[in-house]
Amino acid sequence: MRFNILIPPTSDGALEVTVVSWIKGVGASVSKGEDLAVATTSKITLYIISPADGALTEIIVTAGSKVRVGTVIGVVEAA
C-alpha cells in the first residue's frame, strides 16, 4: 500500500514551507513516525515524518523547493 508524505499544518500558521533536506533517500527502510525530511518557515523548523513502516519509494519535491501545506512531497510503500 502506498502512503503519501504530506507537509503538515505548521504551528506558526504558515501556508508555505521550504523543504531544506531529505534525511532518508529513495530505497531506504523507514519506520512509522521516523523523520524523513526537514522543512522550514520564516519562524520554525519542522521534521516531516513517515506515515507508515516500509520503504521510501519516491521523492517528489527536492530540497530547496517551496511548497504549500498539504502538498505531497514523497511516497512510502508499506512493508
pLDDT in tens, 11-20: 999 999 999 9
Structural domain boundaries enclosing 27: 2-78
**Which CATH number is 69's domain given?**
2.40.50.100
CA dist 58 and 60 (Å) reads: 6
Q: What are the pLDDT digits (tens) for 13-57?
A: 999 999 999 999 999 999 999 999 999 999 999 999 999 999 999
| Cell triple for 24 | 532518508
- For the chain, percent helix, then strand, then coil, each to nearest 5? 0, 50, 50
Q: How many distinct structural domains can be found in the chain?
A: 1
Residue 79 confidence class, pLDDT cut points 50, 70, 90: confident
Interatomic CA distance for residues 68 and 23, integer angstroms: 20
Q: In which element (H, E) is residue 21 found?
A: strand 16-22
Instruction: Identify the DSSP state of 69.
Output: T
